[in-house]
């Protein structure tokens, strides 16, 4: 194959995981604020009402829990000014696009080390997967959690390039990283260590001065936020949590004990990281290099590994008392993937001659296989998250029985762009179903209701079904409908993963039979409710109220005081 045609083929192959990632993103992304996203409305209100530049700057730089989220707020402001209303999908898109900066950076490193273009192939298959579903579909977290990683890596890389202009640029990127997320502060000591090892005295001095300035600006008005954590985890829990954090990419492996395999892979990656760090320090100190790019690569990768291990230590220390399981959550997986990528670089860069192609081909095979596992495994997470967000939007919008949304014409009410919701098309069916117990396409829905159990517990309504078998995606599925004399509530019927791997991978049956949800009483006004099901099967809608009813009571909600 001609060299030019080969490059075109490889370029297209690299675009495949990028296209799939953003296609899946578009399929499930929806303009509904999640948790901390709501604070962006407060920011826009404060900013637009500010009368001086100091007031506007205060709104941008205001502390959010332990973080400064200036970059997120700036993107939200730009989006609001361009489109006239904030759209959280735009924020998600910006954060996800930023991930592409790591792929570009890896290519620059590989090219500087005289590696052929095809060695970049495994990177996007490792980096872009549905394993990061929570950051993908969360406006604030997308920019904060993705953005800080990309900014830190670019700041490290530019700071050690020979051209002094790149170093000056890195200082600006460092400033942005620091006000993107709290762990961006790690770049300050890590960058100082890297520049010291690089024997760049003037840069080291400038870095220290600017770091002092950044730290002063960050903490001059800082107040310690409240926390739900106690920092009382034992050494064993800290060890297991640390390793699980580092190996969290392995959750998608087709095994029974996902937490255990994450811990095992975390141990492996930790040993790999220690090996790379020790080797790099030895070579840097002794200056055993054939060319400049090799030294730059070692310095960059050393800084990146310190950033990963340092972030892991901070997160595990602050979260381990809540259990090991939450440490493999989707929000943190980006660091596990980054550790994999650094490991890959230290496999492929030293290889010379004809051995390179089979090594890369084998790695491509396994990364593609992992990519497939990840999408199949985490599709259920994205599916359930979308249902959670859309039903929350329903309950916040329709607070009276007449199903007429509050016509709030105030400035605050119109800060966020309107988003058409799938349930708007069948709102007219709800009064019909309330009067005659059914509406719409109801074939089989009575049997479905009879297969579903509804129980009232001490603090929640428990709904369970073990027979439902639909495999339709996006907004299709079953919803729990509660109706009192004053209003309706809509809740998602969550699905679980299909543990049968043959059905999952060969027949694309993502969901196990059945559904379930626990509806906390604190989400419902205490009252007596008729219980119904809404079944959405493609464009067909069926609603059915059974003869059962429940009575809820008032309970207090635990206050979460920590930004996750």
The pLDDT value given to residue 79: 96
Per-chain mean pLDDT for the chain: 92
212 vs 436: CA distance, rounded Å: 70
Range(s) for CATH 2.60.40.10 in the chain?
A: 385-551
Residue 328: band (very low, low, confident or very high) from pLDDT cuts 50, 70, 90:
very high
Residue 406: band (very low, low, confident or very high) from pLDDT cuts 50, 70, 90:
low
Do 528 and 195 meet the contact criterion of CB atoms below 8 Å apart? no
The pLDDT value given to residue 559: 56
Residue 250: band (very low, low, confident or very high) from pLDDT cuts 50, 70, 90:
very high
Quick one: 402 exposed, middle or buried, by C-beta within 10 A (0-12, 13-18, 19+)?
Answer: exposed
Q: Per-residue pLDDT for 563 more than 50? A: no
Q: Which of 9-13, 285-289, 353-357 has the highest mean pLDDT?
A: 9-13
Neighbouring C-alpha atoms within 13 Å toward the C-beta of 287 = 4
Do 403 and 427 meet the contact criterion of CB atoms below 8 Å apart? yes
Q: Per-residue pLDDT for 531 more than 50? A: yes
Residue 366: band (very low, low, confident or very high) from pLDDT cuts 50, 70, 90:
very high
The mean per-residue pLDDT over the stretch 359-364 comes to 92
Q: Which residues contact 298 (CB under 8 A, 6 or more apart)?
A: 280, 283, 284, 289
Find residue 128's DSSP bridge partners. none
Residue 408: band (very low, low, confident or very high) from pLDDT cuts 50, 70, 90:
low
* CATH number given to 385-551: 2.60.40.10
The mean per-residue pLDDT over the stretch 485-493 comes to 95
Nearest alpha carbon to residue 198 among 276, 114, 109, 283: 283
Q: Which stretches of 98-240 are assigned E, i.e. beta strand?
A: none
Residue 221: band (very low, low, confident or very high) from pLDDT cuts 50, 70, 90:
confident
Q: Per-residue pLDDT for 66 more than 60? A: yes
Residue 353: band (very low, low, confident or very high) from pLDDT cuts 50, 70, 90:
confident
Residue-wise pLDDT tens digits, 496-529: 998 887 788 777 889 999 999 999 999 999 999 9
- Residue 216 vs residues 55, 210, 220, 227, 429: alpha-carbon distances, Å: 19, 10, 5, 23, 59
521 vs 458: CA distance, rounded Å: 9
Q: Which residues contact 71 (CB under 8 A, 6 or more apart)?
A: 143, 144, 147, 176, 179, 180
- Residue 158 vs residues 44, 97, 167: alpha-carbon distances, Å: 33, 20, 6
Quick one: 224 exposed, middle or buried, by C-beta within 10 A (0-12, 13-18, 19+)?
Answer: exposed
Residues of the chain with pLDDT > 90, as a percent, come to 77
Q: What is the pTM of this model?
A: 0.94
Do 478 and 448 meet the contact criterion of CB atoms below 8 Å apart? yes
The mean per-residue pLDDT over the stretch 446-450 comes to 94
Residue 366 tokens, joined? 């396994």
The pLDDT value given to residue 330: 94
The pLDDT value given to residue 287: 84
The pLDDT value given to residue 504: 80
Selected residue with higher pLDDT from 552 and 303: 303
Q: Per-residue pLDDT for 137 more than 80? A: yes
Residues present in the chain in total: 564
The SS3 of residue 537 is strand
Least confident piece of the model among 201-205, 330-334, 482-486, 552-556: 552-556
Helix (H) or strand (E) holding 550: strand 540-551
CB atoms within 10 A of CB 26: 10
The mean per-residue pLDDT over the stretch 266-280 comes to 96
């Amino acid at each position: 194959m001609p060299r030019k045609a080969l490059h075109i083929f490889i370029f297209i192959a690299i675009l495949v995981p990028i296209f799939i990632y953003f296609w899946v993103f578009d399929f499930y992304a929806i303009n509904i604020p999640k948790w901390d996203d709501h604070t962006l409305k407060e920011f826009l209100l404060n900013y637009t009402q500010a009368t001086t530049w100091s007031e506007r700057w205060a709104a941008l730089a205001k502390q959010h829990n332990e973080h400064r989220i200036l970059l997120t707020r700036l993107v939200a402001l730009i989006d609001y000014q361009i489109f006239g209303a904030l759209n959280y999908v735009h924020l998600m898109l910006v954060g996800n696009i930023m991930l592409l900066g790591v792929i570009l950076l890896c290519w620059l490193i590989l090219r500087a080390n005289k590696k052929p273009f095809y060695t970049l192939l495994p990177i996007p298959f490792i980096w872009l997967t549905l394993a990061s579903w929570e950051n993908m579909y969360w406006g604030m977290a997308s920019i904060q959690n993705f953005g800080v990683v990309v900014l830190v890596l670019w700041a490290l890389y530019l700071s050690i390039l020979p051209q002094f202009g790149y170093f000056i640029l890195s200082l600006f990127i460092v400033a942005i990283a620091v006000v993107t997320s709290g762990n961006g502060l790690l770049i300050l000591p890590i960058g100082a260590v890297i520049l010291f090892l690089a024997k760049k005295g003037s840069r080291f001095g400038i870095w220290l001065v600017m770091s002092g300035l950044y730290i002063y600006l960050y903490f001059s008005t800082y107040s310690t936020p409240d926390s739900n954590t106690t920092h009382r985890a034992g050494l064993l829990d800290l060890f297991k949590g640390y390793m699980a954090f580092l190996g969290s990419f392995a959750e998608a492996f087709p095994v029974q004990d996902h937490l255990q395999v994450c811990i095992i892979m975390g141990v492996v990656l930790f040993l790999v990281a220690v090996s790379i760090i020790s080797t790099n320090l030895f070579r840097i100190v002794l200056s055993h290099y054939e060319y400049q790019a090799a030294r730059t690569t070692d310095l960059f990768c050393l800084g990146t590994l310190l950033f990963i291990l340092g972030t892991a230590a901070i997160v595990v220390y602050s979260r381990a008392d809540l259990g090991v399981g939450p440490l493999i959550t989707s929000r943190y997986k980006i660091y596990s993937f980054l550790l994999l990528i650094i490991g890959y670089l230290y496999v492929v860069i030293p290889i010379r001659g004809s051995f390179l192609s089979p090594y890369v081909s084998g790695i491509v095979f396994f990364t593609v296989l992992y990519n497939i596992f990840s999408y199949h495994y985490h599709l259920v997470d994205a599916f359930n998250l979308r249902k959670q967000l859309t039903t929350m939007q329903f309950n916040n919008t329709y607070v009276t029985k007449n199903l007429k949304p509050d016509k709030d014409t105030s400035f605050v009410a119109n800060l966020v762009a309107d988003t058409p919701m799938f349930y708007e098309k069948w709102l007219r069916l709800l009064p019909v179903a309330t009067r005659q117990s059914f509406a719409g396409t109801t074939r089989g829905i009575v049997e479905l209701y009879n297969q579903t159990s509804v129980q009232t517990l001490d603090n929640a309504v428990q709904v369970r079904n073990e027979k439902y078998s639909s495999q339709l995606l996006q907004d299709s599925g079953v919803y729990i409908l509660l109706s009192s004399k004053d209003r309706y509530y809509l809740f998602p019927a969550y699905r679980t993963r299909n543990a049968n791997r043959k059905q999952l991978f060969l027949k694309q049956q993502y969901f196990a039979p059945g559904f379930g949800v626990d509806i906390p009483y604190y989400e419902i006004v205490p009252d007596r409710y008729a219980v119904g099901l809404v079944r959405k099967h493609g464009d067909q809608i069926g609603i059915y109220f059974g003869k059962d009813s429940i009575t809820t009571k008032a309970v207090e909600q635990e206050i979460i005081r920590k930004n996750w």
